[in-house]
Chains A and B, each alone.
Chain A
Amino acid sequence: MSNAAIHVPHSHRAWLYVLVSIVFVFLLVPIFIVIPMSFSDSKYLEFPPEALTLQWYRTFFGSNEWLAAARNSLSVAAVATLISVPVGVGAAYALNEARGRLFVLLRFFLLLPQLIPVVLAAIGVFFLYIRLNLVNTFAGIVVAHSALCIPFVVITVGAGLKTFDKAQENAARTLGASRLRAFWDVTVPQIRLSIIAAVIFSFITSFDEVVIGLFVAGGSNTLLTRLMFLSLRDQLDPVIAAISSILIVISVLAIAVFVALQRPGREAAR
């Protein structure tokens, strides 16, 4: 269907433009208030800023506590991504192959960590970890975060596999590739965008996570989000705005890279 086939006058679509604008404002304004606030020379979070300073960025990069928390968050997110992406890709592949009621149930189980309220999950994890001696351990927080990341991997990679022609993998097998080799040589390159999306989602999901981190990631394994939350409670410090701004820039860059990879021009040029 060509675009010309359904021409609706702009005047008839005015309400849509208004609606979309409102959505944009609500989504974007909070984000772009934070960035100017991070440059404010006031001791408290303030908008609009009266004078500009880089002091809060200096504070962040000069604080061992903040930097340690940032390092913790980065390593937890990295390891949780390394675990959840292969596991989730495998699960998505299996679910895509399989038929039957059992697998519907299995899929539901895999998605469950994102379906239940995270506070409930956090409380459950907390009590379980007390028994297992996993509270405030690196392994503990990584496992909990992986469980939260896997649903995103299963959904994005599952969607990628839906549009993949299974016959290609079979073709590779008749040409002499084992199942694993066929998957690696033929399937993975073609679902690589969904896998990259899954990596980004997983990393952000873990990096962004607050609630479970509050319960089970303390002590030397304190995560950035937990520290932000706690300091927000004690003092309304613009350091938080500075950190948030850094995170926003990183997220925007990650998405920009993803969009650039998605451009069809690159596909052909590769």
Chain B
Amino acid sequence: MASSIDIRSIAKHFGGVPALDDVSLSITPGEFLTLLGPSGSGKTTLLMCIAGFVQPDAGSILVDGNEILTLPAHRRNLGMVFQSYALFPHMTVGENVAYPLKLRGVSRAERERRAREALGVVQMDGLKDRRINQLSGGQRQRVAFARAVVFEPAIILMDEPLSALDKRLREDMQIELKHLHQRLGRTIVYVTHDQKEALTMSDHVAVMERGRIMQVASPRDIYERPTSEFVARFIGDAAVLPIAVDGRDGITVPPRLLDGPRALPCPALVVRPEKVEILDGEASHPDVIGFDGEVREVIYQGDTILVFVKLPDGQSLSLRRGTRHTVLKSLPARGEKLRVGLRMEDACVIGVAG
């Protein structure tokens, strides 16, 4: 049912500018993998290489061990959902969904049955005679999905399929697509530039920057254990603070934290705002990295409140708290001195450039 995808050393240049630079990625059968990265990082290009609309300069893409780069797009048997949905406005909803079956020579009755079934999966079976221009954005999204799965492709590709929807609907659809994935069990390669969306939906996230894959990991590891400054800063908020080793400037951390990354040339600490605690007058604890600072700004954001803390060496970090009454009451005001800390379990050390 589901297929594996092996992407090996794919490179693609557009007029000398690299859009993909030695990209390798393994996707297991039934996995939901998200390509996440800023705009222009090469996500669409990589997806188009899989789909067959962009021919890479080098490399190979294997599906279940078979090379697909030699196949034309229409022989790859992939379901794809486009950012614009790309529904055919001259066909009804039902005709759109039945189209891939028609191309495969499926009989009319069977076509209608399977189209109805696919529309049922996305709760759109009542609207099969509608025209596309009579549908809302969310409905179009569902029809596009039904059309991409009705011929039972082993792999589904999606390029920012939710980006045209408003926030509420987008969040609902994220959960819905995740459930559809669990139910259908197909391999999904999903593209987004929205980190929260990637974390919500995926089994694995591949973070891309400038045509390269920076890190592939589970949502939890990609957030808690980034391996580079780019990933740490691109996903969530993070302060990246140089660590003092061998007489260099920076913050002091317990030596135990450096056991693993001791080989790093310039280690730095990734500090996530929600993991920072306020230490009021406690004696220093061996498992807590402490920082003395001064409150520079307090920003109320509704669900959370953000406190920017300036450290003596001029760097800053922030801490985030939920806006319960007790929290709001106890928070320091701007200009006050403050001691904050990060538990060793919440600390992540990366190597930074220079």
Question: Interface of A with B (CB < 8 Å)?
Answer: 165, 167-168, 170-179, 181-182, 185-186, 189-190, 268, 270
Name the A residues within 8 Å of B52 (CB-CB): 173-174
Once the chains bind, are A177 and B103 in contact (CB under 8 Å)? yes
Cα-based distance from A170 to B88 in the complex (angstroms): 11
Name the B residues within 8 Å of A179 (CB-CB): 72, 74
Most chain B CB atoms below 10 A, which of A165, A173, A185:
A173
Chain B nearest Cβ from A60, distance in angstroms: 42
Once the chains bind, are B147 and A175 in contact (CB under 8 Å)? yes
Interface size on B, residues (CB 8 A): 29
Name the B residues within 8 Å of A167 (CB-CB): 82-84, 86
Once the chains bind, are B99 and A172 in contact (CB under 8 Å)? yes
Main secondary structure of the interface of A (DSSP, over half): helix
Interface contact tally, CB-CB below 8 A:
71
Known: A176-B100, A186-B88, A190-B89. A171 touches B80 (CB 8 A): yes
Chain A nearest Cβ from B142, distance in angstroms: 15
Once the chains bind, are A178 and B72 in contact (CB under 8 Å)? yes
Once the chains bind, are B103 and A168 in contact (CB under 8 Å)? no
Cα-based distance from A167 to B88 in the complex (angstroms): 10
Name the B residues within 8 Å of A168 (CB-CB): 86-88
B273 at the A interface (CB under 8 A): no
Known: A167-B83, A181-B103. A174 touches B90 (CB 8 A): no
Chain A nearest Cβ from B83, distance in angstroms: 7
Once the chains bind, are B86 and A176 in contact (CB under 8 Å)? no
Once the chains bind, are B82 and A175 in contact (CB under 8 Å)? no
Name the B residues within 8 Å of A176 (CB-CB): 74, 77, 100, 103-104, 151
Name the A residues within 8 Å of B242 (CB-CB): none
Once the chains bind, are B84 and A165 in contact (CB under 8 Å)? yes
21 contacts between A and B (CB under 8 A): A167-B84, A168-B86, A168-B87, A170-B80, A170-B82, A171-B147, A173-B53, A173-B72, A174-B73, A174-B76, A175-B79, A175-B99, A175-B147, A175-B148, A176-B77, A176-B100, A176-B104, A179-B74, A181-B103, A189-B90, A190-B90
Contact of B74 among A174, A186, A190, A268 (CB under 8 A): A174
Cα-based distance from A176 to B150 in the complex (angstroms): 12
Name the B residues within 8 Å of A174 (CB-CB): 51-52, 73-74, 76, 78-80, 148, 157
B131 at the A interface (CB under 8 A): yes
Contact of A170 among B72, B73, B151 (CB under 8 A): B73
The 5 closest A-B pairs by CB, nearest first: A171-B86, A175-B100, A167-B86, A176-B103, A174-B80
A167 (CB) vs chain B CBs: closest residue: B86
Once the chains bind, are B74 and A178 in contact (CB under 8 Å)? yes
- Chain B residues 96 to 133 lying within 8 A of chain A, measured CB to CB, are 99-100, 103-104, 131, 133
Q: Could you list 17 further interchain pairs (A-B, Cβ under 8 angstroms) beyond the known A170-B80, A181-B74?
A: A165-B84, A168-B88, A170-B86, A171-B80, A171-B88, A172-B99, A173-B73, A173-B74, A174-B52, A174-B148, A174-B157, A175-B103, A176-B77, A176-B100, A177-B74, A181-B103, A190-B88
